[in-house]
Amino acid sequence: MQTFALASFASLALFALACSPSLGGGGTQGSGSGGSASSSGMSSSTGSSSSSGAGGGGPTAEVHFIGRFTNEADPRFAWPGSTIVARFSGTGLDVRLADAGNNHFAVVIDDGPPTDLATSSAKDTYTLAANLPAGEHTVLLEKRTESYVGVVQFKGFVPAPGGALVPTPEPWSRKIELVGDSITCGYGNTGAGPLCPFSPETEDEYSAYGALAARKLGAAHMGISYSGIGVYRDYSGATQNQMPIRFERTLADDPASTWDFSYIPDVVVVNLGTNDFAKDDPGQQYIDALSGFLDKLRGHYPNAYLLCAVGSMLSDSYPSGAMHLTKVKQHINTTLDARKAKGDTNVGFVDLGEQNAAVDGIGCDYHPSVATHQKMADKLVAAIQSAKGW
């Protein structure tokens, strides 16, 4: 979710499949086996470091959860970017996961380069590290794939014989929430070109602009993104179950999983509009929907900086004469100006740029490549640094 000729087809590329039903309901029930993980209760980020931080619990825990997880006894999750962090002693570490689909995770050991972990419903124990030097190590496990691919249950970390999980403080004090569509999901960003369809193997939220920016800023991030979605209507034109509705959920496709908003971000990035403009300019209906969603965000996060973003798939060159990129910017700034006039000045706008396929390549279904995401991340970092002084 190009400039030169491919850019003109950007609006065609927003992937209708993302509007299809989720693959479903989650893993096997269980209490986990990886040590303690403190929690503030149902629908909180179990095992995280503080009730005002990246979830519920005390300042120190053996396992930290960053993202939306269900209760401590059944920590299921689905949103892309959901992250589990721990410190352990010994020479190796396994993880037990019950996957309802075929998800992919980034695995980072001791701040090294990420490796890919592919999970499936046919297996529940995976080796994350082996033959490490004796001593203490860190692990970060981040969901690369979106909710559509399936719900996952975390059943615990299992250190190698002689090792153990080690209590550790919350790893981040800065917190960002990323609200978006397939662009923010990292849809197709590792794909070979515009004609490949969606696949879990080519979606990498870890390499998407929001996650990249958060790491550059030394911040935790909560990913709330869903392919094909809009703030008013989705890629197909449907207006039901758009982001203002799904945003209230712990699990994106489960209406009964109500989130408790224990995670309090410093910054909320909202990149919604590409799918709203997939057919034509939605006009005042987009403005009204965005305004209502920003009201919702402000209600949950009275002190957060609300940063609306555009980029990188909309273009003024397609459809010919429609000027969709210009219009979405106008609608967003109209919405923000109205908020400022009413006294809410803790808001902003950032243009993340148009993708340029000739220079940076292009991902599946004309979505931005990893190279484009890196450029988008740089723009987002600059905007947040300017607003927050980070």
Q: What is the CATH number of the domain that holds 248?
A: 3.40.50.1110
Q: Is 55 a residue whose pLDDT tops 70?
A: no
| CATH code, domain with 116 | 2.60.120.260
Q: Which of 169, 192, 207 is the last residue of a domain?
A: 169
Q: How close are the terminal C-alpha atoms of the chain, in Å?
A: 28
Q: Do 329 and 227 fall into the same domain?
A: yes
- Residues ≥6 apart with Cβ < 8 Å to 110: 137, 138
- Phi, psi for residue 313 in degrees, rounded to 5: -100, -30
Q: Do 201 and 315 fall into the same domain?
A: yes
Q: Do 295 and 364 fall into the same domain?
A: yes
**pLDDT 10s digits, 349-370:** 999 999 999 999 999 999 999 9
Predicted TM-score (pTM) of the model is: 0.87
* Domain-located, residue 128: yes
Q: What is the pLDDT of residue 296?
A: 99
Q: Do 158 and 185 fall into the same domain?
A: no
Q: Is 7 a residue whose pLDDT tops 70?
A: no
Q: Do 334 and 211 fall into the same domain?
A: yes
Q: Do 296 and 366 fall into the same domain?
A: yes
* Domain-located, residue 47: no
Full residue range of the structural domain in which residue 119 is found? 60-169
- Residues ≥6 apart with Cβ < 8 Å to 234: 19, 228, 242, 275, 278
Confidence band for 38, pLDDT divided at 50, 70 and 90: very low
- 50 or 343: which leads in pLDDT: 343
Q: What is the pLDDT of residue 377?
A: 99
Closest CA to 235 of 176, 202, 182, 275: 275
* Domain-located, residue 326: yes
CB distance 257 to 246 below 8 Å = no
* Domain-located, residue 316: yes
- 196 or 19: which leads in pLDDT: 196
Q: What is the mean predicted confidence (pLDDT) over 229-250? A: 99
Q: Do 197 and 148 fall into the same domain?
A: no
The rounded percent of the chain whose pLDDT value lies above 90 is 83
Instruction: Give the Cα separation of 294 and 306 in Å (integer).
Output: 8
Q: What is the pLDDT of residue 71?
A: 86
CB distance 215 to 160 below 8 Å = no
When the pLDDT of each residue in the chain is averaged and rounded to a whole number, the result is 88
* Domain-located, residue 41: no
Quote the strand ranges of 233-382, DSSP E. Answer: 267-271, 305-312, 347-354
Q: Is 73 a residue whose pLDDT tops 90?
A: no
Q: What is the pLDDT of residue 59?
A: 53
Q: Do 232 and 376 fall into the same domain?
A: yes
* Domain-located, residue 219: yes
Q: Which of 169, 188, 212 is the last residue of a domain?
A: 169
Q: Do 91 and 240 fall into the same domain?
A: no
CB distance 367 to 209 below 8 Å = no
Q: Do 159 and 215 fall into the same domain?
A: no
Q: Which of 139, 169, 199 is the last residue of a domain?
A: 169
Instruction: Give the Cα separation of 12 and 234 in Å (integer).
Output: 13
* Domain-located, residue 25: no
Confidence band for 78, pLDDT divided at 50, 70 and 90: very high
**pLDDT 10s digits, 111-164:** 999 999 999 999 999 999 999 999 999 999 999 999 999 999 999 999 999 999
CB distance 142 to 211 below 8 Å = yes
The total number of structural domains in the chain stands at 2
- 155 or 27: which leads in pLDDT: 155
Q: Is 290 a residue whose pLDDT tops 50?
A: yes
- Residues ≥6 apart with Cβ < 8 Å to 244: 231, 289, 292, 293, 296
Instruction: Give the Cα separation of 135 and 242 in Å (integer).
Output: 47
Q: Do 188 and 335 fall into the same domain?
A: yes
Burial code (b: 16+ CB inside 10 Å, e: under 16) for 241-277 equals bbbbebbebbbbbbeebebbebbbbbbbbbbbbbbbb
CB distance 205 to 143 below 8 Å = yes
Q: Do 267 and 360 fall into the same domain?
A: yes
Q: How far is CA 385 from CA 163, 174, 211, 266, 336, in A?
A: 40, 12, 15, 12, 19
* Domain-located, residue 52: no
